[in-house]
Amino acid sequence: MRIVIGADHAGVGYKRDLAEGLRRTGHEVRDIGTHDAAPCDYPDFAAEAGRLVAHGEADRGVLICGTGVGMAVSANKIPGVRAASVSEPVTAALARAHNDANIVCIGARIVGPEVAAAIIHTFITTPFSQGERHERRLAKIETLDRARTSGA
């Protein structure tokens, strides 16, 4: 799977380890930074990863900040992105199965690295359930996207 991964300064070491783990298991990983501990702004990385996923250049995104919240709030501003801030694998599975989430956001200051690896594994291996009710709800989310981008 083609996975884009990004972090701000709060998640930089954590991101490096998770990216290595994904590469070891055969995924194609695009690391968009940040690459050092200098303070930076999470919306920059959320926007870049969100565009790559929304434009079909990556299959899934993984975003790390201190809490996971700033990344999720920012990435969800990109039309076509469904980003979920997740702290354990059950939510990761349901975010895929029910919400067809395409980006998972994790808090490096909240979630230990082993749990983060389990969250990501679950996120990239769980399919969307394609249930009629879930399709209907996703269509309503797309309507919200269109209303926002058209200013309605």
Residues in the chain: 152
Nearer to ligand RB5, 69 or 118 (CB): 69
Collapsed DSSP state (helix, strand, coil) of residue 112: coil
Name the residue with the smallest CB distance to ligand RB5: 70
DSSP 13-55: HHHHHHHHHHHHTT-EEEE----SSS---HHHHHHHHHHHHHT
Q: Which of 33/100 has CB closer to ligand RB5?
A: 33
Q: Binder to ligand RB5 among 3, 10, 18, 58 (CB under 6 A)?
A: 10
Max CA pair span of the chain:
46
Instruction: Provide the angle, in degrees to the nearest 10, between the axes of the packed helices 89-97 and 113-125.
Output: 20
Could you tell me the end-to-end alpha-carbon distance of the chain, in angstroms, rounded to an integer? 36
One of 52, 53, 67, 86 touching ligand RB5 (CB under 6 A): 67
Applying CB under 6 A, among 13, 21, 43, 66 the residue interacting with ligand RB5 is 66
Catalytic one among 9, 27, 40, 98?
Answer: 98
Please report whether residue 65 would count as binding ligand RB5 according to CB under 6 A. Answer: yes
CA-to-CA distance for 150 and 148, rounded, in angstroms?
A: 5
69 binds ligand RB5, rule: CB under 6 A: yes
Nearest approach in angstroms of CB 115 to ligand RB5 is: 17
The structure tokens 């884009």 sit at 4
Residues 70-99 that bind ligand RB5 (CB under 6 A): 70
Residues that bind ligand RB5 (CB under 6 A): 8, 10, 42, 65-67, 69-70
Residues designated catalytic: 65, 98
